[in-house]
Amino acid sequence: MKSPLQRDLTPLQKDFIYKESEFGADTYKPLPVVLSKGSGVWLWDVDGNKYLDMMSAYSAVSHGHSHPELIKVLREQSERLVLTSRAFYTETLGAFLEKLTEVSGFEVGLPMNTGAEGVETAIKAARRWGYKSKKIPPNKAEIIVADQNFHGRTTTIISFSSDKESKENFGPLTPGFKTVKFGCIDSLQSAITENTAAFLVEPIQGEAGIVIPDPSWLPKVRELCTEKNVLLILDEVQSGLGRTGKMFAYEHSSIRPDGLILGKALGGGLLPVSCFLSSKEVMQWFTPGSHGSTFGGFSLAAAIGKRSIELIEEEQLAQNSMNLGNYFLNQLKEISSPIILEVRGKGLWIGIEIDTKIITGRQLCKRLLTRGILSKETHDSVIRFAPPLVITKKEIDWALEIFKKVISEIETEQQN
C-alpha cells in the first residue's frame, strides 16, 4: 500500500483542472487531484497514483467503487430497459419499493433522484398532510428545522439553511420554516404551534461536522412530536443505509420517525437514487399530477437500488461499519496532539475537529492527499473520515499510520 510521494501537479493534471475550471461554474473547491479510476476503497489519478478514499462521495459510495455485483446489474438492466418515465408500469420499480419498505418498515415510498429532491418531496408531503389531515388553515403550515442543518441546495431548502453563503443573493426565499437549536428539546417545544406540520432534522448532522446529539434527545423529540401531532421526518441521505453502524441512524435511539429520506448509497455509487418513505396515512394525499419526476424510480435506478439494499444485508456492511468504526474512532481518540481538538463519530462516519490556528482543514487534507489519503474539510475546522463500508482493518491501520505521521510532521514544523 504505497502512497504517492509529495509532488507538484503534472502537466496532464493541470490540463484537466484548467478545463474544468475554465468551462465550469465555480461552485466547488476541489482538492488538486484528477481522478480517473476507482475500485473498492481505492482511487487512482490520471498519472497512476493510488489513494485511499476516505470520503465515499459523501456516503454515496458505501459499497465501494464499481462493486462487481452492481456493475453486473447495471450492464444487464441497461441492455434490457433503462427509462420509460412513470407513464407506464415497469417490472423493476415494484420490486425495489417492496424491498425498501421491507427493510425500513415504512408502508409507502416515493422514489426520486437526488437527496435534495427527496427532501423537497418530504416537505410537500408534510405540508399536504398538515392541510388535509391536521386541518391547518390554508398556507399557514410551518415546518421546523434545526440550526446548522444541511438538506440540499434547492431554492426552498437553502431558505431554511443557517449558512449565509448558501442563500446570499438567491432571494426572495421560501417562507414557512422555523429554526431551533439542534439537540435542544426546549427550543423545539417552544417553536411548535397549532400550525406546525413537521420537524425535519438529521439524526446526526454531517455537513455541520459530524455533530452527534445527546442520546436522550431523539427519544424526547419523538415523544413531543407524537404529543403535538407533528410529523417527525428524518433526513438520512448521508447517515442512512449502514453508514453509522446501523441500517438507519435513528435505530441507535430506538425510535421510529414518521417519514424517512434516503439517497446517496441507495444508488450504489452508480446513479442518483433517492426516496421518501412514510405511512399510507401521510402518503395518501399524493394524487396523480401532484408530484413526480421523469427519472424518479426509472427502471435502471430501481434495479440498482434494490441490489444496493440487498448487498448491504448480504455483506453485513452495517455491522462492518459498527465494528471497524468503533476501532477507528478509538484509535483516533488515542492520538495526543494539540492539533486535534475533538474526535467524534458513529460507525464509519468520523469528524476530526482541528485547531485552525495551527493548520486549516484544507491544508491538512492537502497534506493527506500527498500521502495517499483523500478526505475533505467542512467549515475548514473539521476533516471527515467516511470510507466505503467495505474497508478492512488492514486498510484502516494503514490510514491511521499515515495520519499519525502527517500530524507528527506538522507538530515538528511548529516547533521549528
Q: For residue 261, give the nearest of 282, 284, 285, 287 by alpha carbon.
A: 282
**Coil/strand/helix, residue 111:** strand
Catalytic residue, candidates 178, 264, 306, 376? 264
The grid cell for 56 is: 465515499
The grid cell for 376 is: 475533505
Please identify which residue in the block is written with the cell numbers 426509472.
Answer: 298
Catalytic residue check, 235: yes
Question: How big is the CA angle at 68 (ends 62 and 73), to the nearest 5 degrees?
Answer: 95
Q: Contact, 192 vs 144, CB < 8 A?
A: yes
Catalytic residue, candidates 53, 235, 248, 276? 235
Catalytic residue check, 23: no
Catalytic residue, candidates 53, 96, 99, 150? 150
Catalytic residue check, 132: no
β-sheet bridge partners, residue 376: 384
Region class of 74: left (phi > 0), else alpha (psi between -120 and 50), else beta = alpha
Task: Report phi then psi at 320, rounded to 5.
Answer: -65, -40
**Coil/strand/helix, residue 31:** coil
How far is it, in rounded angstroms, from Cα 345 to Cα 131?
38
How far is it, in rounded angstroms, from Cα 14 to Cα 25?
18
Catalytic residues: 150, 235, 264
